[in-house]
Amino acid sequence: MNEPEHTKRPIWMRIPLTLQILIALILAIAFGIFLGGGNPTESNKVLIDNLAIPADLILKALRALAPPLILVAVLHTFMTAEIPGRAGRKLGILLITNTTVAIFIGLLVANILRPGRWGRLTPPTVIDAAAETSKLDPWGLIQDAIPKAILEPLVSNNVIQLIVIALSFGIVLRAIKSEMISQGKDGYKPIEDVVGILFEAVIRILGWVIALVPLAVFGIVSKTVAKEGFQPFISLGAFILAVLVALFLQGCYYLTRVKLESWVKPIDFLRGGTDAFLTAFSTSSSGATMPITFEVLQEKIGLRESSAALGSLVGANFNNDGTALYEAMSALFISQVLGQHLNLGQQFLVVLTSIFASVGAANIPNAGLVTMTLVFQSVGLPTQYIAVLVTVDWFLDRCRTAINVMGDMTVSTLIDGKKPKTQDNQLLG
Ligand code: ASP
């Protein structure tokens, strides 16, 4: 009999990723201190600079994977999800409002607490000209949303253009599929299969890149400690705190909407949803949590099956409020750390690209980190600073995933409306 897959893997790979990252962090701090702890000697400088190479390569791979990931994730959702007409429109409005509120909460908290002011990082030598020049220009944004060629956004990494292309093809393929089904044809199936297989393939390749994250963390942390000591990490601590405050406020916003716009009591919502929140926190994947979310919405909170399905199975593919909030905050944080002020126009661009980037973020661990590269590029922030965020992503990913799931549950609850399903039976009776 074949040996089970997991026993064949080397010992290091059998350790959970979170633990690997923690081990890498500890080793990196020790190595960074050994190399100078803020006062490196001349002879160590070349070695220290080379420590950033794994992180640079990993970021390059993430940047390359982001566009195909977004494209196939959106196409896959449109081709496979069941979206009824009227409830579908309500779903769309809820997704947009919740995500926009999330981003504004994120930007507000980041602007008030200014976590990036707690420590400084050396600015990169080359700053993208777009960062210096972009102003609030809605007409320019609309013009820019249409790419010159269909494949251009895949190459230029323009997230808004990419989503325009993905949504257009998604909507059209969906319509063609429905027409074929009503005519009894099944010619759409090969396309559906190809999209499904490509989606799986991109996720698997992403898995290889993510497996190398501990190496990147080791390199970037030991380099930072060796060169600049612990000062940069003080601001990272402030950033974690700021993100937690913002996610907490987003949770309060959900509970307020649940209280005002549905029959469910917020306390029952929280109690009933505990299994889903804990699963989200422990897996860092709202996709893996999906079946549990669906179940608790029906069994513990008592929603109708159709409302539970819309929020937790359909909405979950587009609705990533925690991710949107996090991407916007990260952009602002890094701009603060670098002392590279983002004006109102640029912050608006951050809002827009974060909305699109969160729509395209697949429900898997660290997906937000992948699409974040596109948000940074849109306002000319240097993406190599995302490597700094990699060091805390293993924790913040868990927290924002729990909020992503809470967001899906809120959408389901609001769609369920002001009357519980028990009253449906009374009306019929
Ligand atoms: N891990 C998140 C989720 O599964 C996505 C992200 O990385 O933000 O919902």
- Ligand 1 closest atom vs CA 358: 8
Would you identify the CATH topology of the domain 14-428? Proton glutamate symport protein (1.10.3860)
Residue among 277, 281, 323 whose CB has most ligand 1 atoms within 8 A, to mutate? 323
Is it the case that residue 73 has pLDDT exceeding 60? yes
pLDDT digits (tens, 9 = 90+) for 296-328: 999 999 999 888 988 888 888 788 999 999 999
Task: Please choose, from the candidates 337, 339, 323, the residue with its C-alpha nearest in 3D space to the C-alpha of residue 398.
Answer: 323
Q: Domain segments of the chain: what residues? A: 14-428
- Report how far residue 119's alpha carbon sits from residue 176's, in angstroms, rounded to the nearest whole number: 54
Interior CA angle at 284 toward 71 and 368, to 5°?
40
Is it the case that residue 122 has pLDDT exceeding 70? no
Question: From ligand 1's centre to the CA of 397, what distance in Å?
Answer: 6
Residue among 401, 403, 406, 409 whose CB has most ligand 1 atoms within 8 A, to mutate? 401
- Percent helix, strand and coil across the chain, each to the nearest 5: 80, 0, 20
- Report how far residue 89's alpha carbon sits from residue 85's, in angstroms, rounded to the nearest whole number: 6
Residue among 404, 406, 409 whose CB has most ligand 1 atoms within 8 A, to mutate? 404
Task: Give residues (CB < 6 A) around ligand 1.
Answer: 284-287, 320, 323, 361, 363-368, 397, 400-401, 404
- Ligand 1 closest atom vs CA 362: 5
Q: What is the pTM of this model?
A: 0.82
pLDDT of residue 332: 93
Between 68 and 322, the more confident residue is: 322
pLDDT digits (tens, 9 = 90+) for 341-400: 888 888 888 988 888 888 877 788 888 888 888 889 888 888 888 888 888 888 999 999
Mean pLDDT score across all residues of the chain: 86
Question: From ligand 1's centre to the CA of 277, what distance in Å?
Answer: 13
Mean pLDDT is lowest, of 288-292, 319-323, 330-334, for 288-292
- Ligand 1 closest atom vs CA 320: 9
Residue among 285, 317, 370 whose CB has most ligand 1 atoms within 8 A, to mutate? 285
- Ligand 1 closest atom vs CA 405: 9
Neighbours of 337 (CB within 10 A): 22
Mean pLDDT is lowest, of 96-105, 168-177, 223-232, for 223-232
Mean pLDDT is lowest, of 58-67, 122-131, 171-180, for 122-131
pLDDT of residue 325: 95
Question: From ligand 1's centre to the CA of 367, what distance in Å?
Answer: 5
Mean pLDDT of 176-180: 93
- Ligand 1 closest atom vs CA 366: 7
Between 337 and 303, the more confident residue is: 303
- % of the chain exceeding 90 in pLDDT: 39
pLDDT of residue 35: 92
| Smallest CA separation from ligand 1 atom 8, residue | 368
Between 226 and 384, the more confident residue is: 226
pLDDT of residue 429: 46
Question: From ligand 1's centre to the CA of 363, what distance in Å?
Answer: 5
pLDDT of residue 403: 97
Angle between helices 53-80 and 344-360 (to 10 degrees): 60
Q: In which band, very low, low, confident or very high, does the pLDDT at 141 lie, cut at 50, 70 and 90?
A: low
- Ligand 1 closest atom vs CA 284: 1
pLDDT of residue 377: 86
Q: In which band, very low, low, confident or very high, does the pLDDT at 123 lie, cut at 50, 70 and 90?
A: low
Q: In which band, very low, low, confident or very high, does the pLDDT at 185 lie, cut at 50, 70 and 90?
A: very high
Question: From ligand 1's centre to the CA of 283, what distance in Å?
Answer: 10
Contacts of 134 (CB under 8 A, 6+ apart): 345, 346, 349, 379, 380
